Chains A and B, each alone.
Chain A
Amino acid sequence: MSGTGHEDDFEAYLRQRSVLPGRPLSSQRLEPPSDLDDLVLKKARQAIHAREPLPLYRAPRWAVPVALVATVLLTLSILLNVSLTTRRQIPPAVSAQTRSSASTSKPEALQSVAPPSAESAPANGASADAGSPAATYAPSAVTTAPEPAPRANDVAAEAARQSAAAALSAAPEASRRAAAAAKSRADPQTWLRRIESLRKQGRTAEADAELRRFRQVFPGYPLKAPAADARDPAK
């Protein structure tokens, strides 16, 4: 057979894909056994079922941004609350007044009821005008007077607050005077200075009444001789 004949035969084979163009061979009817089919299909089915994940909880898609926003809001609110609370508890005037009191207080001033220094008095007045005399003067009492208990400071602050409230309800002039008295009652030294000034003005009854009130508020506070004399009006 020629080369061209071989080439034609091969081209015919490529088209027919069979060496025998007539009746198919029995091997062309070969089929896999049915149990093999079942085995393969079962394996494929098991692979699909094994692939299915366990029914785990999945958060919805909006959960992540909502959680982030909630976290940011919560953090900001906590920071705001903390900063506001801190400012309310330690105002700048108080810290300045505390520093000036610490710098001006002397050992003899601790033991006596000498009038406060000229720098501390205006500071006290200014802070009293700020509107919170009790909170302003209570630390001063603690730093300058070692004897009175902190509870006395609380009582003094409460009394000053009540006096200030009463003064605000009275006439403007009377209220200014009452507010000044309330301011002086918050600080034992100022209070004693006021008593002395009342006594110098000849208002002895008022001075005695103030002294009694002072002894109620600051029972263990050491007094100078003139004040001690005035302690008992009968003497």
Chain B
Amino acid sequence: MARCTTTRTVEAVSSDDEDGELMLRYARGDMRAFEILYARNRSGLYRYLARHTHHSEIANDLFQEVWSKVIASRERYEPRAKFRTFLYRIAHNCFIDHCRRAPTRSERGAPVESWESTLAGPDHDRPDLRAEQAELTACYRAALAALPAEQRDVYLLYEESGLSLEEIATISAVGPETAKSRLRYAVAKLRAALAAREQTPRDAAAIEEPGT
């Protein structure tokens, strides 16, 4: 728990320029710099991978692979762009490689949805709120999974990395307008799915009322 508190505090003061400096310090042998860098970027990167893969074990493997590549490339790292652009480009490529080389691996491990439900939230003492939260999460996850891969990738990058659309376009190797268009479509579809979920109980209640 203390680790999480520290992590969130460090994330709050995160700065991309500082991340690049931390990476350079780590390349010079400063382990403390890497610990700070890792604490700043671990959660967002993990969420990006977990929400992409839907499976905890695959997310763990990819997370470890991404950081291994970051560690291995410390000598060649040059701060020409933000460190997060560098980090998420590696993550993006790792995920694409994973999809290409082992499509059957997606069956491995526990789904993130069921695994998330074990996390204790702030409303864990309210069963009704917890059930609503789980329902919302399931709906959101289903809508996310239904998105085309390109739109989902741009959407997750925008939500988790904190990068700008131009930087996301660079990572995805598309133009900024294309990235923005993909994000627009993804957001519209997700909102439509969540709005339909809110609409369905009301409609069901309206249908039930005349019968009662």
Binding site for B on A (CB under 8 A): 6, 9-10, 13, 17-20, 23, 25-34, 36-37, 39-41, 43-45, 47-48, 51-52
Contact = CB atoms under 8 A, between A and B. Distances in A.
Interface string B166-198: 000000000000000000100110110010000
A37 B6 CA distance: 14
Interface in B40-67: 42-43, 46-47, 50-51, 60, 63-64, 67
Interface SS majority for chain B? helix
Contacts of B136: 20, 25
A44 B35 CA distance: 9
Interface stretch (B79-87, B111-119, B201-209): B111-119
B140 interface: yes
A33 B60 contact: yes
Contact of A27 (B35, B67, B141, B162): B141
A31 B4 contact: yes
Contacts of A27: 47, 50-51, 112, 116, 137, 140-141
A37 B3 contact: yes
Interface in B77-133: 112, 116-117, 119, 121, 133
B67 A10 contact: no
Interface of B: 3-4, 7, 26, 29, 31, 34-35, 38, 42-43, 46-47, 50-51, 60, 63-64, 67-68, 71-72, 74, 112, 116-117, 119, 121, 133-134, 136-137, 140-141, 158-159, 162, 184, 187-188, 190-191, 194
B119 A44 contact: no
A26 B134 contact: yes
Given A6-B188, A9-B191, A20-B194, A43 B71 contact: yes
Contact of A29 (B60, B119, B158): B119
B168 to A, nearest CB: 12
13 contacts: A9-B188, A9-B191, A10-B184, A13-B187, A27-B137, A29-B119, A31-B4, A33-B60, A36-B64, A37-B42, A41-B35, A41-B38, A48-B29
